[in-house]
Amino acid sequence: MQNLNISVVVPLYNEEESLTELCNWISRVMQSHGFTYEVLLIDDGSTDNSWAIVQAITSENPMIKGIKFNRNYGKSAALNTGFKSSNGEVVITMDADLQDSPDEIPKLYKKIKEEGFDMVSGWKKKRHDPISKTIPSKFFNYVTRKISGIKLHDFNCGLKAYANRVVKHIDVYGEMHRYIPVIAKWNGFTKIGEQVVEHHERKYGTTKFGIERFINGFLDLLSITFVSKFKRKPMHFFGLLGTISFFSGFAITCYVIGMKIYYQHNKLPVRDVVEQPLFFLALVALIIGVQLFLTGFLAEMLAMKSNSSKDYLVVEKIGLD
């Protein structure tokens, strides 16, 4: 299938009230700017009438397509499925609750096609969310900026634009949709930009944000940071910790034995080695060091075995078919 200008990926869960309005809005924007496009509505196991509405919309507009999950897998699964199914040169993601404005699509498209960004993230500079959501979000964005080194104000904004090569080369799983900029960076797509976008008040339904998402978000950040840095070189992590632990235990052992020899040589009262707490501390450090080193060795072999050409993106060839 020939590439379209734009693919719009919309993950949705129980958004029956907003879908028709959203799709009509997207279609108006696309037609007014002369874009060739498709809209992928990814129903993440909705329990309301969302899928029936998707079916009605797709029957009226062939540019709008639907994918339905058998149950709720989460936003990351919906986005990943949409990415793999998209045909547009530029892929736009947005939420289905009408808080993201389709009017922002032309500006995002321009930044990808004309300014050469790999990815552009929306920044909801003026938000219409409760303080219980905005304060944690600001803290979360600050920590993510510091850890990832990516200078974005709003990592979790649903309105983003990607070059097609980006979405075809990354995998989004678990709840990693918050960290797509981090995933993109660690896959070599480093030209990441930001665009201030309009944020609307929620018109229908209720927010699905909860404190558990905030907590899980930081756990996911630690996970993606570790995996991104060490998935191809696990020995660098486990081996380093194992070496430090082993030699710490070895040094303590030498100290304990040396002190015993010194006391015996000078005929001073001395306790048996096994009666000293330091001996057991050294023993634990030695065992942990060996275990960490072996863990790194096994992880390295698994990484080598699972490594394949699909992990690498070739952007140009010269003199080859």
- Span 278-287, mean pLDDT? 91
- Span 283-308, mean pLDDT? 80
Where residue 175 falls among pLDDT bands split at 50, 70, 90?
A: confident
Where residue 237 falls among pLDDT bands split at 50, 70, 90?
A: confident
Is residue 221 pLDDT above 50, yes or no?
Answer: yes
Q: Measured between alpha carbons, how far is residue 116 from residues 93, 110, 307 in Å?
A: 18, 9, 30
| Side-by-side strand order, sheet with 64-68 | 64-68, 37-43, 4-12, 88-93, 160-163, 119-123, 192-196
Whether 219 and 270 map to the same domain: the answer is no
- pLDDT, the chain, mean: 84
Q: Which of these three, 208, 229, 250, is where a domain ends?
A: 229
Whether 128 and 277 map to the same domain: the answer is no
Domain-embedded: residue 158: yes
How confident is the model at residue 212, as a pLDDT? 63
Domain-embedded: residue 317: no
Long-range contacts of 166-174 (CB under 8 A, 24+ apart): 166/91, 166/118, 166/119, 167/83, 167/84, 167/86, 167/91, 168/83, 168/84, 169/313, 170/83, 171/80, 172/76, 172/77, 172/79, 172/80, 172/83, 173/76, 173/77, 173/80, 174/74, 174/76, 174/220, 174/223
How confident is the model at residue 309, as a pLDDT? 44
How confident is the model at residue 24, as a pLDDT? 96
Summarize pLDDT for 29-40 with one digit per residue, the tens.
999 999 999 999
Domain-embedded: residue 252: yes
Whether 260 and 155 map to the same domain: the answer is no
CA angle 173, 178, 181 (to 5 degrees): 95
Q: Which of these three, 189, 211, 229, is where a domain ends?
A: 229
Q: Which of these three, 181, 200, 229, is where a domain ends?
A: 229
Alpha helices (H) in the chain, listed in sequence order = 19-33, 50-60, 75-85, 105-113, 131-148, 164-167, 180-186, 211-230, 234-265, 277-306
Whether 54 and 96 map to the same domain: the answer is yes
Q: Which residue has the higher pLDDT, 48 or 305?
A: 48
Whether 54 and 151 map to the same domain: the answer is yes
- Span 146-174, mean pLDDT? 89
- Span 152-180, mean pLDDT? 89
Whether 218 and 260 map to the same domain: the answer is no
Whether 151 and 300 map to the same domain: the answer is no
- Span 213-238, mean pLDDT? 71
Domain-embedded: residue 27: yes
Whether 114 and 168 map to the same domain: the answer is yes
Whether 277 and 195 map to the same domain: the answer is no
Overall domain count for the chain: 2
Nearest to 95 by CA among 175, 18, 153: 18
Whether 190 and 290 map to the same domain: the answer is no
Whether 200 and 245 map to the same domain: the answer is no
Summarize pLDDT for 130-153 with one digit per residue, the tens.
666 667 778 878 888 887 888 898
Whether 168 and 258 map to the same domain: the answer is no
How confident is the model at residue 304, as a pLDDT? 63
CATH classification of the domain holding 56: 3.90.550.10
How confident is the model at residue 317, as a pLDDT? 40
How confident is the model at residue 217, as a pLDDT? 66
Domain-embedded: residue 141: yes
Residue 184 sits in which domain range?
Answer: 4-229
Domain-embedded: residue 316: no
- Span 64-80, mean pLDDT? 91
Q: Is 91 exposed, middle or buried (0-12, 13-18, 19+ CB in 10 A)?
A: buried
Domain-embedded: residue 264: yes
Domain-embedded: residue 318: no
How confident is the model at residue 263, as a pLDDT? 85
